[in-house]
């Protein structure tokens, strides 16, 4: 792999590692974390369906609160069907 490409990969990994250790996310970071679009996230914010922090025009999210919010929507397997990671 050329040195230039190796540097790009390293920079990308370092950037992702920094993002994952940060406890506060902006709208784009929260959308990536939740794997949804920013418009969906803005809709949830306007409907007060998701916990967020408003600082002026900025909308921020605590990673721990997003995880708790997601846990409220967790469902048990239906009719004994196990998730892929639990099969024996």
Domains for the chain: give ranges and CATH numbers. Answer: 20-67 (1.10.10)
User: Which is more confidently placed, 9 or 38?
Assistant: 38
User: Residue 55 — φ and ψ, nearest 5°?
Assistant: -120, 95
Confidence of residue 87 (pLDDT cuts 50, 70, 90): low
Instruction: State residue 62's pLDDT score.
Output: 97
Instruction: Decide: pTM greater than 0.85.
Output: no
Closest CA to 60 of 80, 39, 77, 45: 45
Max CA distance (Å), the chain: 53
């Amino acid at each position: 792999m050329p040195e230039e490409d190796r540097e790009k990969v390293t920079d990308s990994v370092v950037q992702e590692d920094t993002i994952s250790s940060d406890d506060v996310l902006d709208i784009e970071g929260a959308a990536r974390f939740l794997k949804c679009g920013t418009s969906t996230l803005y809709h949830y914010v306007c409907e007060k369906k998701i916990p967020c922090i408003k600082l002026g025009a900025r909308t921020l999210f605590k990673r721990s609160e997003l995880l708790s919010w997601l846990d409220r929507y967790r469902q048990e397997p239906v009719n004994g069907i196990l998730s892929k990671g639990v099969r024996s």
